[in-house]
Homo-oligomer: A and B are copies of this chain.
Amino acid sequence: QAGISHPSWLTVNKKRNFTVKATGAINPSIRKEEAKVVDAVEVTQLQKPITAYCRCWKSETFPLCDGTHVKHNKEFGDNVGPLVLKKPKE
Protein backbone atom coordinates (compact mmCIF):
# COMPACT_ATOMS: atom_id res chain seq x y z
CA GLN A 1 0.00 0.00 0.00
CA ALA A 2 1.13 3.49 -0.87
CA GLY A 3 0.57 4.76 2.64
CA ILE A 4 2.98 2.31 4.13
CA SER A 5 5.88 2.91 1.75
CA HIS A 6 6.22 6.65 2.30
CA PRO A 7 8.04 8.51 5.05
CA SER A 8 5.12 8.39 7.38
CA TRP A 9 4.61 7.30 10.95
CA LEU A 10 4.74 3.72 9.77
CA THR A 11 8.10 4.16 8.06
CA VAL A 12 9.65 5.76 11.09
CA ASN A 13 8.18 3.06 13.23
CA LYS A 14 10.02 0.40 11.22
CA LYS A 15 13.30 1.48 12.78
CA ARG A 16 13.47 -0.56 15.89
CA ASN A 17 15.54 2.03 17.72
CA PHE A 18 12.79 4.57 17.30
CA THR A 19 10.36 2.31 19.05
CA VAL A 20 12.81 1.50 21.80
CA LYS A 21 13.82 5.08 22.35
CA ALA A 22 10.64 5.91 24.20
CA THR A 23 10.81 9.61 23.56
CA GLY A 24 7.45 10.65 24.86
CA ALA A 25 4.90 10.52 27.59
CA ILE A 26 4.20 7.06 28.94
CA ASN A 27 0.84 7.45 30.63
CA PRO A 28 -1.86 7.69 27.99
CA SER A 29 -4.93 8.09 30.16
CA ILE A 30 -4.63 7.20 33.80
CA ARG A 31 -5.79 9.90 36.25
CA LYS A 32 -4.63 12.73 34.01
CA GLU A 33 -6.26 15.22 36.36
CA GLU A 34 -3.52 14.44 38.89
CA ALA A 35 -0.20 16.30 38.61
CA LYS A 36 1.61 13.11 39.58
CA VAL A 37 0.13 9.67 39.90
CA VAL A 38 1.57 8.12 43.04
CA ASP A 39 0.07 5.07 44.70
CA ALA A 40 0.80 3.76 48.14
CA VAL A 41 0.55 0.19 49.29
CA GLU A 42 0.47 -0.74 52.94
CA VAL A 43 2.22 -4.03 52.57
CA THR A 44 0.62 -5.49 55.66
CA GLN A 45 -2.74 -5.00 53.96
CA LEU A 46 -1.95 -7.21 50.99
CA GLN A 47 -4.54 -9.95 50.86
CA LYS A 48 -2.94 -12.43 48.50
CA PRO A 49 0.49 -14.10 48.48
CA ILE A 50 1.26 -12.45 45.12
CA THR A 51 -0.01 -9.12 43.81
CA ALA A 52 1.23 -7.59 40.55
CA TYR A 53 1.34 -3.81 40.18
CA CYS A 54 1.29 -2.18 36.75
CA ARG A 55 4.31 -0.31 35.39
CA CYS A 56 3.08 -0.02 31.78
CA TRP A 57 0.36 2.56 32.48
CA LYS A 58 -2.19 0.69 30.39
CA SER A 59 -3.93 -1.56 32.86
CA GLU A 60 -7.68 -1.27 33.16
CA THR A 61 -7.25 -2.03 36.83
CA PHE A 62 -4.37 0.38 37.54
CA PRO A 63 -2.49 0.45 39.89
CA LEU A 64 -2.88 -3.30 39.59
CA CYS A 65 -1.55 -5.19 36.56
CA ASP A 66 -4.16 -6.84 34.36
CA GLY A 67 -1.79 -8.30 31.79
CA THR A 68 -2.12 -5.48 29.25
CA HIS A 69 1.67 -5.07 29.27
CA VAL A 70 1.76 -8.09 26.93
CA LYS A 71 -0.22 -6.21 24.30
CA HIS A 72 1.88 -3.07 24.84
CA ASN A 73 5.15 -4.98 24.44
CA LYS A 74 3.95 -6.69 21.27
CA GLU A 75 2.65 -3.49 19.74
CA PHE A 76 5.72 -1.35 20.42
CA GLY A 77 8.57 -3.84 20.66
CA ASP A 78 8.93 -2.98 24.32
CA ASN A 79 9.80 -5.18 27.29
CA VAL A 80 8.03 -3.81 30.34
CA GLY A 81 6.35 -5.77 33.08
CA PRO A 82 4.85 -5.42 36.53
CA LEU A 83 6.29 -5.10 40.00
CA VAL A 84 5.27 -8.21 41.86
CA LEU A 85 4.72 -7.99 45.60
CA LYS A 86 5.05 -11.21 47.53
CA LYS A 87 4.10 -11.89 51.06
CA PRO A 88 4.56 -15.13 52.93
CA LYS A 89 1.53 -17.31 53.41
CA GLU A 90 0.31 -17.19 56.96
Enumerate chain A interface residues (CB-CB to B < 8 A): 1-5, 7-10, 12, 18-28, 31-32, 34-44, 46, 53-57, 63, 69, 72-73, 76-88
Query: Assembly of this chain: how many copies?
Result: 2
Whether B26 and A84, one on each chain, are in contact in the complex, defined by CB atoms closer than 8 angstroms, is no
Contact for A78 among B9, B10, B25, B43, CB less than 8 A = B25
Among candidates B22, B34, B37, residue contacting A57 with C-beta atoms closer than 8 Å: B22
Q: Is the CB of A39 within 8 A of B84?
A: yes
Kindly state the separation between the CA atoms of A17 and B87 in the bound complex, as whole angstroms.
40
6 smallest CB-CB distances across A and B, nearest first, come from A3-B4, A43-B43, A38-B81, A26-B26, A25-B78, A22-B28
